[in-house]
Structure formats: structure tokens, C-alpha cells
Amino acid sequence: MSNECKTIHEFDFNLICEYFSNVERQGPGSPEVTIKALGFIDNLTTESRIADLGCGTGGQTMTLAQNTPGQITGLDLFPDFINIFNRNARTLGLSGRVKGIVGSMQETLPFEKESVDLIWSEGAIYNIGFERGLNEWRQYLKKDGYIAVSEASWFTAERPAEIYDYWMAHYTEIDTIPNKVAQMQNAGYIPVATFILPENCWTEHYFAPCCKMQQAFREKHRGNKAAEELILSERHEMELYHRYKEFYGYVFYIGKKL
Ligand code: SAH
């Protein structure tokens, strides 16, 4: 398909994909935090089935694979991310038990009911919403199986209008930690643990690599308005985080299916 045939939306989609293909993570997180969350999950064996939904290029999936036994399936909407994911798995000698597949969490997932021991999803459940994800994904888990997701959350009961408005424009399901825990409990899980991701998950592991890559991206797409806008919106997200980080951030929620 030639560029002329593409809608602006499709073109933006490709740009976003290219932008994030160049960084190790597509959202806040770190290997230390993945390992910490994994520490709340027991009973994994070489027979275990793990699904990483919205896996991106697999930064966290490879950390998972290196720290737990079992077969891991990463699922993401973007084929380019999955290609990088599978290349990374091969490079790390993990391709025997780590496979990336293209798919959408908007659709029925390609897993049997009650077949998965652990569902993982870092910074991605927001694509269908926290409550919907918890409710729909539960059917794929075995009894006593675990879910571990990271999700944008408010840290305080009140917050300044500027950051509230920003989030309402981007993700209205952002909520306080107690409200999210109640949603997890109501969806049929024991809330095993929650913890706030430390600041370096944003600064060192997410924003810094993005900043480093932005210059080359800007040069490659010089004069392209959509590329400029993408960089500006990423910069804005960064500035807001620095200004309002005591009011919000990412939180890991770990639950066990009843
Ligand atoms: N887990 C990764 C990526 C988080 S970014 C990390 O922490 O680095 C969110 C991811 O969700 C992106 O990779 C995006 O491609 C993916 N995504 C968006 N909509 C999706 C959908 N409908 N189904 C599956 N993945 C989706």
C-alpha cells in the first residue's frame, strides 16, 4: 500500500510504532520491579504457562523468562514489536520457551479456558481498561493462577486540576490504589500485593532512552508534522511527570484467582 492511500491515522500508527521500536521499553518499569512482582508468585514450574499481554518488544518478558521456569507467550497488536520480541528471544537463547504472537486483547485471546498459570501485563491493560481486563482475563487462568499488571493510579485523594485534566483526556479509568484493589477483589481475585513503581522506572528506564532516541527520530522525519507532534506530546508527558509525580504513577497489582 502506498503512502498516498493511507489515512493520517494509519500513518501516525506507523510513526508511533517506529518511535517505540527503538527503545527497550514502551512504558515505565524496570527489571528490578519485574523481579519484585514475580517474588509474590509461587508454584511456577517448567510446565507452567505464562501469558504476557501487550508485551511490546519484550523488555519485561525476557526478564521474566530469565527468572522463572515455564513457557511464555507474549501477545501484542503491533507486528513490528513482535518481530523485535522474537529476535530478542533468539539472541538470548530463550526462543525454545518464549514466543511472541500478534493479536489483540480487544478480541477473544488465543488461550484455552483455565489453561494459564500466570497472566502478566506491564503498562498495557489500559488498552481495554483495568476492570474489563481483570474480568475477561480471569477465564483463561487456572484456579489459584495469578495475574500481575501495572497500571496508572492516583496516589492521593485529591490532585491539581492540570494533571487531573490530562489524565481525563488520556485514560479516565485512572483511580486510587484502594479503588483499584477493590476492583480486583470484585473481579474474583485475592489481592495479594500492590506496590508503587519507583521513580527510576519512569526517569532512567523510560524517559531517558526515549530522549536519547528522539534526536535521530526527529532528524529522520524532519519536516513531518506528525513526527514533531509525537515528540512534543512525549515531552509534555515527561514535564507533567516531573511536576506532578507525587500525585500519580504506576502501581503493580498482583492477584490470585479464587
Ligand atoms: N509491556 C510493554 C509495553 C507497554 S506499552 C512494556 O512495559 O514495555 C503498551 C503495549 O500495548 C504496546 O506494545 C502496544 O502495542 C500494545 N497494545 C495496544 N493495544 C493493544 C491491543 N488491543 N492488544 C494487544 N496489545 C496492544
Burial 189-221 (b: 16+ CB within 10 A, else e): beebbbeebbeebbeebbbeebeeebeebeeeb
For the chain, the domain total comes to 1
Q: Cα(104) to centroid of ligand 1, in Å?
A: 9
Q: Ligand 1, atom 16: nearest CA belongs to which residue?
A: 54
Cα 81 to ligand 1 centre (Å): 9
What digits encode the pLDDT tens for the residues 64-73? 999 999 999 9
SS (H, E, C) 120-159: EEECCHHHCCHHHHHHHHHHHEEEEEEEEEEEEEECCCCC
Does the beta carbon of 59 sit less than 6 angstroms from any atom of ligand 1?
A: yes
How many Å separate Cα 81 from the centre of its chain?
Answer: 13
Task: Look at residues 48, 71, 44, 72 and name the one whose alpha carbon lies nearest to residue 60.
Answer: 72
Determine the average pLDDT of the residues in 193-213. Answer: 95
pLDDT, tens digit, for every residue of 156-192? 999 999 999 999 999 999 999 999 999 999 999 999 9
Out of 8-12, 80-84, 223-227, give the one with best mean pLDDT.
Answer: 80-84
How far is residue 161 from each of residues 37, 164, 165, 167, 233, measured CA to CA in Å?
32, 5, 6, 10, 19
What is the per-residue pLDDT across 26-39, written as a single tens digit (0 to 9) for each? Answer: 999 999 999 999 99
Ligand 1 in contact with 17 (CB < 6 A)?
A: no
Q: Quick one: 162 exposed, middle or buried, by C-beta within 10 A (0-12, 13-18, 19+)? A: exposed
Average pLDDT on 216-233 reads 91
Residue 193, phi-psi category: left (phi > 0), alpha (psi -120 to 50), beta (remainder): beta
Note the pLDDT of residue 2. 40
Residue 5 confidence class, pLDDT cut points 50, 70, 90: very low
Ligand 1 pocket check for 105: Cβ under 6 Å: yes
For residue 16 and ligand 1, the question of a CB distance below 6 A is answered with no
Q: How far apart are CA 184 and CA 251, in angstroms?
A: 13
111 C-alpha to ligand 1 centroid (Å): 18
Q: Specify the pLDDT at position 11.
A: 61
Boundaries of domain holding 219 = 3-257
**CATH number for the domain including 151?**
3.40.50.150
- pLDDT band for position 13 (50/70/90)? confident
Residue 10's pLDDT is what?
61
Q: What is the pLDDT of residues 117-157, one digit of tens each?
A: 999 999 999 999 999 999 999 999 999 999 999 999 999 99
**Nearest residue to 163 via CA among 49, 81, 245:** 245
| Mean residue pLDDT across the chain | 94
122 lines ligand 1 (CB under 6 A): yes
Residue 3 is predicted with a pLDDT of: 42
**Residue 4 predicted with pLDDT over 50:** no
C-alpha of residue 127 to centroid of ligand 1, in Å: 7
